[in-house]
Amino acid sequence: MQADIIDGRALARQVLAEVAEGAKMLDRPPGLAVIIAGDDPASHVYVRTKVKRAEELGFLTEKIQLPADCGEARVLEEVAKLNARDEIDGILVQLPLPADINTLRVMAAVDPAKDVDGLHALNAGRLTQGSGGLIPCTPLGCMKIIKSVIPDLTGSHAVVIGSSNIVGKPMAALLLEEHATVTQCHIHTRDTKFVCRGADIIVSAVGKPGLVNADWIKPRAVVIDVGTTRVPKADGSGYTLKGDVDFDEAVKVAGAITPVPGGVGPMTIACLMENTLTAAKMRKEAKENEWPVLS
Ligand code: NAD
């Protein structure tokens, strides 16, 4: 029996509709600022889509474009200016940054209350404690996708392949919060295939097309493919996006599976909008009650 193919675009539309409703409750539109340094073509495509989606929702939107050789001090200066502006609720620094810039230092400079990518250590720490805060958009989107097919994850065995700060680690933390038994695999894991074969849920966030084959997947398991690798087309006419999973074979074994494109990607953007709204609401509430936001 063929797996259900999860429609990430349809789920994203639902999230965006909820965000649009939520934004009506505020006295001003949520504000999202994106900083991009350098000219990585894929990053520019992502930023364009993020800004467009925010504009469609009527958010205040700002894009700060810096040259590749701008240096860390300039990025930190822009972050500080945005931290100080009341009408900006969310600050996103598009990654990867140019190689001479220390990403962790930049993340640490973003006001945690405006950290819509959930990468500040305070938000990462809160996630591992299950005590609120802003959650990285891609794992947040993956969790919504998983819960659309398995509403209660208690006791399921979930395997996360990949352990980056932006996807793998927060994904594992979120699954743990939902009472799944979580195994995290990475480049040094000895037998990822063996581990995956016991999983009810596989989330692959690696960036290696074809890594996850049909024989890695337990029959009827839920397979979430985060991987997005740009592979040049044979005729030289541009690129196609490939996930980590051998979709054509995996779809014959899995119970539900996300496609690439049209799976996790649209949910990541929708969750960025949700996080911007969450940040705006948290900041408004804190201001009204004169309590600190996320300290
Ligand atoms: P990363 O390079 O920071 O991390 C990759 C992880 O994969 C590492 O933990 C590494 O140990 C692990 N890994 C590498 N080879 C492996 C192997 N053979 N077996 C098991 N683990 C292995 O990447 P990232 O930023 O976490 O992104 C991962 C992928 O997800 C990329 O393709 C990226 O483009 C994609 N991505 C997609 C979205 C989206 O919205 N769809 C968002 C973020 C990232």
CA atoms within 13 A on the CB side of 261: 10
pLDDT tens for each residue of 211-234: 999 999 999 999 999 999 999 999
pLDDT tens for each residue of 33-50: 999 999 998 899 999 999
Q: Do domains 25-111 and 137-265 have the same CATH topology?
A: yes
Distance from the alpha carbon of residue 170 to the mean position of ligand 1, in angstroms:
13
Burial class (CB in 10 A: 0-12, 13-18, 19+), 39: exposed
pTM over 0.85: yes
Distance from the alpha carbon of residue 22 to the mean position of ligand 1, in angstroms:
32
Residue with CA nearest ligand 1 atom 15: 187
**For the chain, which residues make up each domain, given as ranges?**
25-111, 137-265
185 φ, ψ (degrees, to nearest 5): -110, 155
> Using CA atoms, how far apart are residues 40 and 76, in angstroms rounded to an integer?
20
What is the pLDDT at residue 295? Answer: 65
Distance from the alpha carbon of residue 187 to the mean position of ligand 1, in angstroms:
10
| Residues in Cβ contact with 20 at an 8 Å cutoff, skipping those fewer than 6 apart | 57, 58
**Given its phi and psi angles, is residue 273 left (phi above 0), alpha (psi -120 to 50 degrees) or beta?**
alpha
Spell out a b/e string for 4-28, using b for 16 or more CB atoms within 10 Å of the CB, else e.
eebbbeebbeebbeebeebbeeeee
50 noted as active-site residue: yes
Does the CB atom of residue 185 touch ligand 1 within 6 A?
yes
Does the CB atom of residue 227 touch ligand 1 within 6 A?
yes
Does the CB atom of residue 213 touch ligand 1 within 6 A?
no
Of 89, 115, 117, 200, which is the active-site residue? 117
Average pLDDT, the chain: 97
Q: How confident is the model at residue 1 (pLDDT cuts 50, 70, 90)?
A: confident
Superfamily of domain 137-265: NAD(P)-binding Rossmann-like Domain (3.40.50.720)
Superfamily of domain 25-111: Leucine Dehydrogenase, chain A, domain 1 (3.40.50.10860)
pLDDT tens for each residue of 77-136: 999 999 999 999 999 999 999 999 999 999 999 999 999 999 999 999 999 999 889 999
Q: Of ligand 1's atoms, which has the minimum distance to the CA of residue 167?
A: 26
Does the CB atom of residue 94 touch ligand 1 within 6 A?
no
